[in-house]
Amino acid sequence: MNERIERLSNGDFQVAYSCYCYNCNKDRMVGGLPYVMTLMIVCPTCGNKRCPHSTDHKLACTNSNERGQAGSRYE
């Protein structure tokens, strides 16, 4: 998967995921809950949740939060 182990400043370790997109994280579980239910997934470039880039890192950022964008999970 897209994960690596990072050491925190207090000496503890955590799993860090290299991809932020919905498609790469939709099957990941955190504390018995699907990861995608624990936070709002947004595009790292524009910050919009409906941007297709937040759904799949392979899609381009549209810098838009409009509904119905091709490739967006909110299509």
**pLDDT-based confidence at 54, cuts 50/70/90?**
very high
15 lies in a domain? no
Q: Is the pLDDT of residue 16 over 70?
A: no
Q: Is the pLDDT of residue 5 over 70?
A: no
Q: Is 20 exposed, middle or buried (0-12, 13-18, 19+ CB in 10 A)?
A: middle
27 lies in a domain? yes
pLDDT at 61: 96
Q: How many domains does the chain have?
A: 1
The domain of 38 spans 21-75
The Cβ of residue 45 has, within 10 Å, a number of other Cβ atoms equal to 13
Q: What is the mean pLDDT of residues 27-33?
A: 84
6 lies in a domain? no
Secondary element (H or E) of residue 55: helix 52-55
